[in-house]
Amino acid sequence: MIEPIPNPKSEKPQVQCPFNVAVIGGAGHVGLPFGLVLCDFGHRVTLVDTNAAQLERICQGNMPFEERGADSLLPCCLESGRLHCATGMNVLSDQEIVIVTIGTPVDEYLDPSLRAFDQVLEQIFNHCRPGQLLIVRSTVFPGVTERLGRIVKERGLDIDVSYCPERIAQGLALEELTHLPQLVSGCTTQALERATEFFADLGLETIPLSTVEAELGKLYTNSYRYINFAISNQFYMLAQRYDADFDRIYRAITHNYKRMNGFAKAGFAGGPCLLKDTMQLASFNHNLLTLGQTAMEVNEGLPGFLVERLKQHHDLTTATVGILGMAFKGNCDDPRSSLSYKLRKVLTLDCRRVICTDPFVHNPDFVSVETMLTEADILILGACHDEYRELQTDKPLIDVFGFLPGKQP
């Protein structure tokens, strides 16, 4: 039997100017939540994506990934009749606003890989119509927006190009999209004004910048976080070398001491954005971003450090090691660039057996948490999922994050 779709009524204030909006990359982690929020505010939204299977799922009212609040908002948007899905760009001619949220990865040399992005923009230009506002929301290499503006001008296309970066934390998008200040920029004054009006109509505070400032602002945001995590991870490793408890030091030096407010917890700094964006910034600066590159060495070196430490205390050649949590962060189902996989790889070289579990990431090779607690000799926390908080075990459990107080190697 097909389960009925819940239909919570939205109480969001509606925008004054509802537009036809296409979100390119609309089935993705950035595009889909943003599309839902825009629809919830009264815009007529078409999610355009090449992933037909994902769109099919969305059309049936099922979220393809974890995003707090989206399971109930998606059916509501579908029922409103304002949310549509399409796999082709031919729908663009019906839109007033086109928003680009496709992935912008770095290549094997850690340089931005612009080809896919360029191809999508080429398709958009072939289908656009005069008077449209193009909002680039993917994280792009500085200068990309200005270059788009030049191409538009050269081709005589009558569209406004703006760059308005996304700064949400995955999983919290619906809340953050309606609260976070929005950086806005445009290749022309008109593009900037239109983008500003669009976001202000959602009730957001808007902050105007030049296009390159907005591009750098987004990369600075993620690089800053990445470097910040590296500070804590380096301090964690240092404490370990002296058999000191980093988490106790952390609590002590942040207690009632405002100057340490920004001090991050130690832990795996993985995921699809932080390292990638730090490397984009380095690439932009002709590979000179010493702090970012050092942060990469520290953060990416953490799994190997943990295994080396383990080897000092245990004979891993006879041990089964279990990794609790394979997603790149807690309460998330996204395994992209998760350091738990790097940990698994490093462990595999030294251990008799490595087993993995995750309540959100589905993989036939993973075991249940019960099996893990029975079969593993040593446990390592890979992602801080809430359901591990009350975990009971008398086995050694390594918790870099300080998520389970009292559990150290």
Ligand X SMILES: NC(=O)c1ccc[n+]([C@@H]2O[C@H](COP(=O)([O-])OP(=O)(O)OC[C@H]3O[C@@H](n4cnc5c(N)ncnc54)[C@H](O)[C@@H]3O)[C@@H](O)[C@H]2O)c1
Note the residues at the interface with ligand X (CB under 6 A): 24-25, 27-31, 48-51, 54, 101-104, 120, 138-139, 166, 168, 170, 272-273
CB nearer to ligand X: give 235 or 360. 360
- Measured from the CB of residue 161, what is the shortest distance to ligand X in angstroms? 17
Closest CA to 30 of 143, 134, 174: 174
- Measured from the CB of residue 327, what is the shortest distance to ligand X in angstroms? 13
Element (H, E) at 125: helix 115-127
Q: DSSP state, 402?
A: S
Q: DSSP state, 314?
A: S
Q: Which residue bears the tokens 């989206």?
A: 70
- Measured from the CB of residue 245, what is the shortest distance to ligand X in angstroms? 32
Written as six digits, the tokens of 14 are 């509606």
- Measured from the CB of residue 225, what is the shortest distance to ligand X in angstroms? 11
CB nearer to ligand X: give 27 or 361. 27
What's the full length of the chain, in residues? 409
Q: Which residue bears the tokens 């850690």?
A: 110
CB nearer to ligand X: give 27 or 159. 27
CB nearer to ligand X: give 283 or 408. 283
> Cβ distance 382 to 324 under 8 Å?
yes
Written as six digits, the tokens of 326 are 């394979």
CB nearer to ligand X: give 147 or 353. 147
- Indicate the SS3 state at residue 378: strand
- Measured from the CB of residue 397, what is the shortest distance to ligand X in angstroms? 29
- Closest-by-Cβ residue to ligand X is 28
State the amino acid at position 174 in one-letter form. Answer: L
CB nearer to ligand X: give 221 or 320. 221
- Measured from the CB of residue 337, what is the shortest distance to ligand X in angstroms? 11
- Indicate the SS3 state at residue 81: coil
295 burial (CB, 10 Å; 0-12 / 13-18 / 19+) is: buried
Written as six digits, the tokens of 255 are 């207690």
